[in-house]
Chain A
């Protein structure tokens, strides 16, 4: 079985978010970047579980500059067999999807996995776009997946229960919490990652259709006013007169 796992580079969850260039670009100064957790913890680890010990081959793919190689190497340290980086600055999900689809279309992957979303833009768009471009079925938000022959059995959480699905391969699946248990790279994996192939391919996507006009930060949160538990009258007054919720 051949699996392609799409991995993104995202700011660490503790990064302070700000913008530059008249609020049209994310300020990366001093920001620590990590592999998108949904890509890493669920999509990649499940792919490795399905292909390790000679059962198949997992390839990780990233669209980005050479600075992303450290994130890609982490994917190899976790257990991917090889890696591909499409040498392009990611500007929109459509462009990234097109690069991935262009790479994958003639490689014979049985499965293409993504995280359910990236933790920076939370678009949940990539998997669907890649599936459409490759004319393959798409299942989102998978929390469990087994593969038997050319069929994947998938569970996903729905309101009040669990939905069971079967999908013919090849297919594109986005992974959510529950798909796998996070793996921390061990030293053997880290040192092995240096020896695994990381291929760089040129960009091939067409014209860009989406442009960012500007970003806005959410409004600052107000300060907390602690009211003594014995002073219910004051609490009621503030809720009525200042918060105006009663």
Chain B
């Protein structure tokens, strides 16, 4: 039994479901990444997870990060875990060879991330942030910024962050007020505050590099006036790192007492309190938000990975318990002298376990196919590659929110499997439950993504991208119908119902405007997500069925388990779309018309 992630399932996805090595083999950038290199990399990631990350997971929660006199102290195991990831080459894995990187395909990097996040998101998330910040500098920074910061970030000596949120500007980045006054040579005096900055400060690194959004003096109002800056905790004394670093007037006001992820700090930062914070412009003025959002697909896939990793850890903890804990007897067994049975023998416990497995492995399929699409989109100019990019754009809200929302529900069911023990800290379920919850908030709340899906994504290309996805789904459903006719019919009917709902909502947009159209965007997002994950499950089961018939790399039990999980998802989770369908097709506008005054 696995401890926190099934590498069998990850290998199934890579080699048999997505055939990822074959799909990227013709791209020069990925030379050498054949099936064997994928397997060796997955092995190496698993070893890091087993030896350096997972053993620290509970400890970092119990001995949480603290802030004393403006200095943030994290658990020493954080530094050890980051060192193992750095020495393994995982911080620079996707970076170009000329920067010392391994030019790893995102699909492989994210397979490893699913392992790292499953083992311990409280360590892996710091690395994820640094990689994201480094990618921004790599994409848009000057040669000077790249030379100064990237080697330090890839070597794990500098932490990277994304400094966006302010007290008055959370989901609404339009309202950012942090200011930047030009002082020449691409440098600006920075003033302002940032809150909830993950990894915002800690003493396990030599420096923290904030990729910060601020407004240059006189910039236009709204999102078009926002620029992106590198604002380090310690700034360079000269033009090169060898001249040393000095304090940059970035003050940590404190860290937040979070519900979970207690080893992963979120800081409140103050810039320019002594009028001595210098920021370095990334790219051009007023284009900061577009730069930041060009990296958002990656960041949102990352949040989905974090949620999936957490749900995966919870699943295996509850699965182990279900096989070990004897309690009760079969309903037909009336003899109290008969021994108690392991709780996995109870159908309702198996339901809760299958729910978790279906959510975790369905999310993994979604995340890795999305990552593969990104690899193809960034390395190919064919129409198929453009289509992959558009698919990724369309599904990004699902990729981020399904693992976050359903992952939370999955962990809740994992806790339920343990009963009272799940609520107590002798077992890790209560920690997983606290840790996963934030993912529905990170990188845009579920509500924001619902509006993104309906307000932008399904309208892309006048609806052509959505039509292309529907056509692809329909073709896959037909291909699976011979092996799984009942499940294919069920998914086909749900997909048609979703399409009809979309058409109806478009009519509401035309007739009643965006408020009515977007009122239940979160529910539409959930509906869409259930159909998309069912689509993945049907395809996965079809592959599993083929492997059962003709032989595959994994065991018979693995493939049978895969098919069982598909049947669970189509039978138990997909029908939830009926309730969502009814609500979204109702003409009664309860929430839209509700007076806030009645919320008493």
CA distance A187 to B51 in the complex (A): 17
Which residue of chain A is the closest to B48 with respect to CB atoms? A184
With A30-B554, A184-B51 known as contacts, the answer to whether A191 contacts B88 (CB < 8 A) is no
Chain A 56-87 interface mask (CB, 8 Å, partner B; 1/0): 00000000000001100110010000000000
CA distance A122 to B124 in the complex (A): 37
With A30-B556, A191-B32, A191-B102 known as contacts, the answer to whether A186 contacts B44 (CB < 8 A) is yes
Contact partner of B41 among A14, A70, A187, CB < 8 A?
A: A187
Question: B43 within 8 Å of A by Cβ?
Answer: yes
Chain B 28-63 interface mask (CB, 8 Å, partner A; 1/0): 000010101101110110011001000000000000
With a cutoff of 8 Å between Cβ atoms, the chain A residues found around residue B554 in the complex are: 30
Contact partner of B36 among A14, A30, A73, A185, CB < 8 A?
A: A73
Q: Are A190 and B555 in contact (CB under 8 A)?
A: no
CA distance A180 to B560 in the complex (A): 42
Question: A209 within 8 Å of B by Cβ?
Answer: no
Q: Are A184 and B88 in contact (CB under 8 A)?
A: yes
With a cutoff of 8 Å between Cβ atoms, the chain B residues found around residue A188 in the complex are: 89, 102
Q: Are B47 and A70 in contact (CB under 8 A)?
A: no
Pick from A29, A69, A187 the residue with the most CB of B within 10 Å.
A187
CA distance A73 to B35 in the complex (A): 12
CA distance A30 to B12 in the complex (A): 13
CA distance A191 to B34 in the complex (A): 10
With a cutoff of 8 Å between Cβ atoms, the chain A residues found around residue B90 in the complex are: 187
Q: Are A190 and B41 in contact (CB under 8 A)?
A: yes
CA distance A187 to B48 in the complex (A): 12
Contact partner of A70 among B36, B92, B558, CB < 8 A?
A: B36
With a cutoff of 8 Å between Cβ atoms, the chain A residues found around residue B39 in the complex are: 70
CA distance A14 to B46 in the complex (A): 14
Question: B465 within 8 Å of A by Cβ?
Answer: no
With A73-B40, A188-B102 known as contacts, the answer to whether A30 contacts B555 (CB < 8 A) is yes
Question: A194 within 8 Å of B by Cβ?
Answer: yes
Question: B334 within 8 Å of A by Cβ?
Answer: no
Question: B557 within 8 Å of A by Cβ?
Answer: yes
CA distance A30 to B553 in the complex (A): 7
The minimal Cβ–Cβ distance linking B329 to chain A, given in whole angstroms, is 15
With a cutoff of 8 Å between Cβ atoms, the chain B residues found around residue A176 in the complex are: none
Question: B104 within 8 Å of A by Cβ?
Answer: yes
Q: Are B48 and A193 in contact (CB under 8 A)?
A: no
Chain B 103-135 interface mask (CB, 8 Å, partner A; 1/0): 010000000000000000000000000000000
Interface of chain B residues 552 through 589 with chain A (CB within 8 A): 554-558
Q: Are B84 and A190 in contact (CB under 8 A)?
A: no
Interface of chain B residues 1 through 50 with chain A (CB within 8 A): 1, 32, 34, 36-37, 39-41, 43-44, 47-48
CA distance A69 to B40 in the complex (A): 12
Interface residues in A, total, Cβ within 8 A: 19
The minimal Cβ–Cβ distance linking A190 to chain B, given in whole angstroms, is 5
The minimal Cβ–Cβ distance linking A223 to chain B, given in whole angstroms, is 8
With a cutoff of 8 Å between Cβ atoms, the chain B residues found around residue A70 in the complex are: 36, 39-40
Q: Are A187 and B87 in contact (CB under 8 A)?
A: no
With a cutoff of 8 Å between Cβ atoms, the chain B residues found around residue A187 in the complex are: 41, 44, 88-90, 92-93, 102, 104
Q: Are A184 and B32 in contact (CB under 8 A)?
A: no
Q: Are A185 and B102 in contact (CB under 8 A)?
A: no
With a cutoff of 8 Å between Cβ atoms, the chain B residues found around residue A193 in the complex are: 40
Pick from A69, A74, A186 the residue with the most CB of B within 10 Å.
A186
Pick from B36, B48, B87, B339 the residue with the most CB of A within 10 Å.
B36
Chain A 86-107 interface mask (CB, 8 Å, partner B; 1/0): 0000000000000000000000
The minimal Cβ–Cβ distance linking B80 to chain A, given in whole angstroms, is 13
Pick from A14, A29, A30 the residue with the most CB of B within 10 Å.
A30
The minimal Cβ–Cβ distance linking B523 to chain A, given in whole angstroms, is 42
CA distance A14 to B316 in the complex (A): 15
Q: Are A194 and B37 in contact (CB under 8 A)?
A: yes
Q: Are B88 and A186 in contact (CB under 8 A)?
A: yes
Pick from B1, B88, B556 the residue with the most CB of A within 10 Å.
B88
With A29-B555, A191-B32 known as contacts, the answer to whether A186 contacts B87 (CB < 8 A) is yes
CA distance A69 to B104 in the complex (A): 22
The minimal Cβ–Cβ distance linking A228 to chain B, given in whole angstroms, is 14
CA distance A186 to B90 in the complex (A): 8
The minimal Cβ–Cβ distance linking A79 to chain B, given in whole angstroms, is 13
With a cutoff of 8 Å between Cβ atoms, the chain A residues found around residue B93 in the complex are: 187
CA distance A14 to B50 in the complex (A): 14
Q: Are B556 and A184 in contact (CB under 8 A)?
A: no
With a cutoff of 8 Å between Cβ atoms, the chain A residues found around residue B555 in the complex are: 29-30
With a cutoff of 8 Å between Cβ atoms, the chain B residues found around residue A185 in the complex are: 40, 43-44, 88
The minimal Cβ–Cβ distance linking A103 to chain B, given in whole angstroms, is 24
Which residue of chain A is the closest to B90 with respect to CB atoms? A187
With a cutoff of 8 Å between Cβ atoms, the chain A residues found around residue B40 in the complex are: 70, 73-74, 77, 185, 190, 193
Which residue of chain B is the closest to A191 with respect to CB atoms? B32
Interface of chain A residues 139 through 169 with chain B (CB within 8 A): none
CA distance A113 to B557 in the complex (A): 38
Which residue of chain A is the closest to B50 with respect to CB atoms? A184
CA distance A191 to B103 in the complex (A): 10
With A70-B40, A190-B37 known as contacts, the answer to whether A30 contacts B558 (CB < 8 A) is yes
CA distance A29 to B51 in the complex (A): 27
Chain A 175-199 interface mask (CB, 8 Å, partner B; 1/0): 0000000101111101101100000
Q: Are B44 and A184 in contact (CB under 8 A)?
A: yes
CA distance A14 to B557 in the complex (A): 15
CA distance A193 to B44 in the complex (A): 14
Tell me the B residues contacting A by CB distance below 8 Å: 1, 32, 34, 36-37, 39-41, 43-44, 47-48, 51, 84, 87-90, 92-93, 102, 104, 339, 554-558
Q: Which 6 A-B pairs have the closest CB atoms?
A: A30-B555, A187-B89, A187-B102, A186-B89, A184-B47, A186-B88
A and B contact pairs by CB, cutoff 8 A, 20 listed: A14-B1, A30-B556, A30-B557, A73-B40, A74-B40, A184-B44, A184-B88, A185-B40, A185-B88, A186-B87, A187-B44, A187-B89, A187-B93, A187-B104, A188-B89, A190-B40, A190-B44, A191-B32, A191-B102, A223-B339
